[in-house]
Amino acid sequence: MQPNSFLINNNIPILYSFRRCPFAIRARAAIFLSGIKVEIREVLLNNKPKEMIELSPKSTVPVLKLEDNVIDESFDIMLWALDKNDDSNLLAPYITNKELVINLLKRFDIDFKFHLDKYKYSSRYLDDQAYLGKEKHRYQAELHLNYLQSHFLENSLYLNGSKISILDLALFPLIRQFRLADINYFENNRNIKKIRGWLEVLTTSSLFNDIMHKYSVWHKGQKTQYFFNPKYN
């Protein structure tokens, strides 16, 4: 089946996205590798279009509008795309050990992200009674990185072995945010050497370059912009 053959009357899905959002990055990665063509609408988080807000009460990216459905959870968008086409067998760990994948996702999407935000955007939380301080939140986030590092097999390049999988695509955008909070600290941290090498492989890849292409901010009436993998379209 061709990746876009499921479209009815050429009704191309619409993806609301924000280039730097880690959850939007993971969704775009899966869509790109599935070969599905979508209309992409780049938004500003401080000026979200009402069209997106009306689709999803969460009002956060990514939001995928289908002909008869709306998907507003990033991992669900990944599963939707790869269910349509998974030439690279990215779903392998999800199929063989769904519980492990879901638990890792919850750990990083909830617990790691909680400390990441307070580390990366520390100035926003100074008046928060639950704020522990930048270094303490960094330490707590790093504990999760240590846990993730323990999942690498010896000499394996990716989390599921020698081939990239949905696990890598889902987690690397969040860990990239941790690196950006203090690049020198990250690059000189010997405790997460495997994580550092893994992240470098992913963020210097042609895939990353493709999914991080800059699109102009969407506004109603503008020329349609598309996001797709040239290999399939």
Predicted confidence at residue 233, as pLDDT, reads 77
- Rg for the chain (alpha carbons), in Å? 18
Which of the four CATH numbers 1.20.960.40, 3.90.226.10, 3.30.70.1140, 1.20.1050.10 does domain 92-205 have? 1.20.1050.10
Predicted confidence at residue 1, as pLDDT, reads 43
What would the pLDDT profile of 62-112 be if each residue is shown by its tens digit?
999 999 999 999 999 999 999 999 999 999 999 999 999 999 999 999 999
Check pLDDT > 80 for residue 9.
no
What would the pLDDT profile of 145-197 be if each residue is shown by its tens digit?
999 999 887 788 999 889 999 999 999 999 999 999 999 999 999 999 999 99
Give me the percent of the chain exceeding a pLDDT of 70.
Answer: 96
Instruction: Return the H-helix or E-strand segment holding 65.
Output: strand 63-65
Question: What are the extents of the domains in the chain?
Answer: 14-88+209-227, 92-205
CA 181 – CA 213 distance, rounded (Å): 22
What would the pLDDT profile of 129-154 be if each residue is shown by its tens digit?
989 999 999 999 999 999 999 988 77
pTM of the predicted model, to two decimals? Answer: 0.94
- What is the per-residue DSSP string for 69-89? -EE--HHHHHHHHHHH--TT-
What would the pLDDT profile of 31-73 be if each residue is shown by its tens digit?
999 999 999 999 999 999 999 999 998 999 999 999 999 999 9
The answer to whether domain 14-88+209-227 has CATH 3.40.30.10 is yes
29-to-2, 10, 60, 139, 171 alpha-carbon distances in Å: 18, 22, 18, 29, 11
Task: Please state the φ and ψ torsions of residue 96, each to the nearest 5 degrees.
Answer: -85, -30
Predicted confidence at residue 217, as pLDDT, reads 98
How far does CA 115 lie from the centroid of its chain?
18
